[in-house]
Amino acid sequence: MYLSKAFIPILKNNPSEAKIKSHQLMLRIGMIKQSSTGIYSWLPLGFKVMKKIEKIVRDEQNNIGAQEILMPTIQSSEIWKESGRYDDYGDEMLRIKDRQNREMLYGPTNEELITDIFRSSIKSYKSLPQLLYHIQWKFRDELRPRFGIMRCREFYMKDAYSFDINDEEAFFSYNKFFLSYLRTFKKLNLTAIPMAADTGPIGGNLSHEFVILADTGESKIFTDKRIFNLDSEGSEITKESLEDLRKKYEQYYAVTDEKFNKNEFEKEVLPENRLITKGIEVGHIFYFGDKYSKPLNASVDLSGGKKDFVKMGSYGIGVSRLVGAIIEAKYNEKDEIMKWPLVVAPYEVAVIPVISKNDSKNLEKAINVYDYLKKQNIDVIIDDTDENLSSKLKKVNLIGVPYQIILGKKSEGDLLEFKETGKETTSLSIEKIAKFLHQQKEQI
Ligand code: ATP
Ligand code: MG
């Protein structure tokens, strides 16, 4: 992309309506634009980041054997009446009437719809388990939309649903998602901690929220610090291995405020290990058995000839919220610099020619470098504007492009000035730079 032609509407100053860093930055560099309260358009920079996050989320769903579908945003009220949630959901649900006066709604979540899809096709235990997911817009008419896309009304969510024959198999499905969430957030360069959670309006009895630490988060969390040293390395997709993984995490106290109990906390966690802080919920998984399959009559034939209601779980990731969450986690407050993790950066590298009057040599060189990197499948932007070097650098630092190639005095012959944000400058050939960037991406 040539910066002179890019649709990146940068503002001179932070907009005053934005209270937290991610909201400020997303408006400042033109990633999003508010269209009405809690509803946003995604402009090229923001959309690119969200699509890269979506791909990582999708890959990790596919890796545990989940199958992708796409359900509509608009749903009929009928199935919600069957489950009993049509009234329960209250004002958060956006209700619409079509021209036949039928009651419709903009889906806030999809338990009913997926159960309806399931019950119309799957009749036998032999087809289980089924793990289905989609990545689709949701609408919740939040009481207080705030912090930009962090708590908005229309947002992009990955939601998955599992169907199993009994509790034991259902826990296996639950644990697969538990693993896939740890892997997803790790790939996104985030430390997300699974915390025992309340099940809220989704209902059920087993639930974890995945929370990343951030002062601006809305969830208050209480943990044993040692949980931060764990990871999912070495886990295999077998019942035993996944049960061990979940137990490994569950041995440490980690809850949000709804589940907090002062006595338990103080009994279980030594003072030096206690951490009370704030976090952002980026994912939430639930097991709720036959809570929906029973009222919606989704049952399967068992091997002995009997029938039973299928056992279900649901698993959400806030794909659009993650864009903001990554900013909250990665923004360097001290130097006022954003640095996107390479895997989700809107551009992986910026090519910056120093352009002086009557001399287009650096620009020509930069275009060659740019063409080469594009051919190598590197997501590159070239600043072909005639601004001076320092304002060009300011801009790429503001956008958060993690690597820069500067074509000026320090780039001589085949050796180019190459810099990672916040690190020392080096001189490398273009081939070595491309190789280095590929290696960095593969490492994750
Ligand atoms: P919260 O407690 O933040 O309202 P929730 O428990 O209602 O979240 P879920 O129903 O579990 O959320 O939805 C799954 C994920 O969708 C959440 O973990 C979060 O990342 C995201 N999400 C939920 N509500 C919003 C919203 N209003 N704006 C942006 N993302 C949201
Ligand atoms: Mg909510």
Interval between CA 344 and ligand 1 midpoint (Å): 21
Q: Say yes or no: domain 349-442 is CATH 3.40.50.800.
A: yes
pLDDT digits (tens, 9 = 90+) for 86-112: 999 999 999 999 999 999 999 999 999
Q: What is the CA radius of gyration of the chain?
A: 24
Instruction: Point out the ligand nearest to the CA of residue 204.
Output: 1
| Lowest pLDDT segment from 16-25, 179-188, 203-212, 260-269 | 203-212
Per-residue pLDDT at 295 exceeds 90: yes
- The response to whether residue 246 sits with its C-beta less than 6 Å from ligand 1 reads no
> How many Å lie between the centroid of ligand 2 and the Cα of residue 200?
9
| DSSP states of 393-413 | HHHHHHHT-SEEEEESTT-BT
Mutate to test the pocket of ligand 1, among 281, 282, 286 (most ligand atoms within 8 A of CB): 281
- Is 135 a pocket residue for ligand 1 (Cβ < 6 Å)? no
- At 200, the pLDDT band (50, 70, 90 cuts) reads low
Judge whether 21-330 and 349-442 match in fold: no
In sequence order, what are the beta bridge partners of 39? 36
Topology of domain 21-330 in CATH is BirA Bifunctional Protein; domain 2 (3.30.930)
Q: What is the pLDDT at residue 199?
A: 64
Does residue 283 line the site of ligand 1, with CB under 6 A? yes
Distance from Cα 276 to the centre of ligand 2, integer Å: 22
The pLDDT value recorded for residue 229 is 95
Residue of 34, 40, 91, 155 best suited for mutating to test ligand 1, as the one with most atoms within 8 Å of CB: 155
142 lines ligand 1 (CB under 6 A): yes
Beta strands in 140-273 (DSSP E): 154-164, 192-196, 206-213, 219-224, 254-256
Question: How many alpha carbons lie under 13 Å from residue 116 in its C-beta half-sphere?
Answer: 14
Q: Which atom of ligand 1 is nearest to the CA of 325?
A: 20
- The closest residue, in CA terms, to atom 2 on ligand 1 is 281
Q: How far is the CA of 153 from the centre of ligand 1 (A)?
A: 10
- Give per-residue pLDDT as tens, 51-85: 999 999 999 999 999 999 999 999 999 999 999 99
Q: How does pLDDT run across 225-283, given as a tens digit for each residue? A: 999 999 999 999 999 999 999 999 999 999 998 889 999 999 999 999 999 999 999 99
Say what the pLDDT of residue 202 is.
Answer: 57
Q: Is 324 in the pocket of ligand 1 (CB under 6 A)?
A: no
Ligand with smallest separation from the Cα of 197: 1
With the most atoms of ligand 1 within 8 angstroms of its CB, the residue from 133, 321, 326, 328 to mutate is 321
pTM: 0.96
Model pLDDT, residue 203: 57
CB 284 less than 6 A from any atom of ligand 1: yes
Give the residue extent of every domain in the chain: 21-330, 349-442
Cα–Cα distance for residue pair 369/363, rounded to 1 Å: 10
Label residue 166 by pLDDT band (50, 70, 90). Answer: very high
| Most confident among 213-222, 225-234, 408-417 (mean pLDDT) | 225-234
pLDDT (mean) for 13-28: 95
What is the secondary structure of 343-384 as a DSSP string? GG-S-SEEEEE--BTTB-HHHHHHHHHHHHHHHTT--EEE--
What distance in angstroms lies between residue 207's CA and the mean position of ligand 1's atoms?
14
- CA 277 to mean position of chain CA atoms: 21
**Residue 413: per-residue pLDDT:** 85
Cβ–ligand 1 distance for 107 under 6 Å, the answer: no
| Residue of 369, 443, 378 lying closest to 411 (CA atoms) | 369
pLDDT band per the 50, 70, 90 thresholds, residue 204? low
* Most ligand 1 atoms within 8 A of CB, residue of 111, 133, 157, 195 to mutate: 157
Q: Determine the pLDDT at residue 24.
A: 97
What percentage of the chain exceeds 70 in pLDDT?
98
Return the pLDDT at 10.
Answer: 96
Residue 216 neighbours by CB distance under 10 Å: 18
Q: Is 23 in the pocket of ligand 1 (CB under 6 A)?
A: no
Band of residue 388 on the pLDDT scale cut at 50, 70, 90: very high
CB burial of residue 329 (10 Å; 0-12, 13-18, 19+): buried
Q: Place 412 in a pLDDT band, splitting at 50, 70 and 90.
A: confident
Q: Which of 191, 188, 249, 145 is nearest to 54 (CA)?
A: 188
Closest CA relative to residue 322, chosen from 71, 178, 135 = 135
